Amino acid sequence: MAVEAPPKPTLADKIYDRLFHNYVWKSIFRTGYPNTPRNQMLIVATNVFLHLHPTRIHRTHVKITHTYCLGGLSFFMFLGLTVTGILLMFYYVPSVERAYLDIQNITTTVQFGQLMRNMHRWMAHAMVILVFLHMMRVFYTGAYKPPREFNWVVGVILLVLTFLLSFTGYLLPWDQLAFWAITVGSEIAGSAPVLGPKTRFWMLGGFEVGPNALIRFYTLHVIGLPLLAAIFMAVHFWRIRRDGGLARPL
């Protein structure tokens, strides 16, 4: 039987061709549209953001009821907090004279300021909860067994970093809630048997929660701890790929 001639290109096809098969577009997106298995694998393997993933994954691992996307959501919360955090940073100065007024300014005068602040706070709570749930998921699916033991340790480090990020951020509004919560928290730290008072002094930059504490916590919160967290996240994600992906049933 003779092969049918291909249908003549319609106007839509010609426009598509002009838009997406031209030189400029193809210099940016070098694989074709991922609607063939080849392109679908290529785009995951060659895109800098997507190549975090393998090109193929065990079918039990795409089921939502296996992972509930908790790890990915924790990372997503981290990204969202970074974005809202940067936006908030435009309007906030970490000095005891300005901090509270800046927060009031953000929540009243700045356009979408209230929304950004709310998003930042609820995403912070959400990240702590999601990280904890992720830890529970990894435990109950036994995904800490060899060769993944050290990745679990890295995960615990990330958990502690998440708590610390939340703790340092808590002080920044410089209202009564923030001030006294951090006072209580630093008292707990200061009650350590031998190094307690010194640790507390180092943490607060003084004997009381004051201007030194504010700038210290601010610096840790916006750059120190996020950088550490990013480094450990890099190790954490890399190790998952290195260990052959998520833990598979036997």
When the beta carbons of 22 and 39 are compared against other proteins, the nearer one is 39
When the beta carbons of 17 and 55 are compared against other proteins, the nearer one is 55
Site stretch for other proteins (CB under 8 A), options 18-26, 215-223, 225-233, 240-248:
240-248
The answer to whether the CB of 193 falls within 8 A of the CB of 118 is no
Q: Which residue has the tokens 């036997």?
A: 250
Is 114 near other proteins (CB under 8 A)?
yes
Site for other proteins in 179-218 (CB under 8 A): 179-181, 183-185, 187-198, 200-201, 207-209
Cα(8)–Cα(172) distance, integer angstroms: 65
- The CA–CA distances, whole Å, from 13 to 24, 32, 218 equal 18, 15, 54
Site for other proteins in 26-85 (CB under 8 A): 34, 37, 40-41, 43-44, 50, 53-66, 68-69, 72-73, 76-77, 80
Site stretch for other proteins (CB under 8 A), options 15-23, 165-173, 222-230, 231-239:
165-173
Q: Helix (H, G, I), strand (E, B), or coil: what is residue 14?
A: helix
Candidate list 95, 149, 227, 241; residue touching other proteins; CB under 8 A: 149
Candidate list 32, 82, 126, 215; residue touching other proteins; CB under 8 A: 126
Is 86 near other proteins (CB under 8 A)?
no
**Residues near 9 by Cβ (< 8 Å), separated by ≥ 6?**
17
**Residues near 116 by Cβ (< 8 Å), separated by ≥ 6?**
84, 87, 88, 106, 110
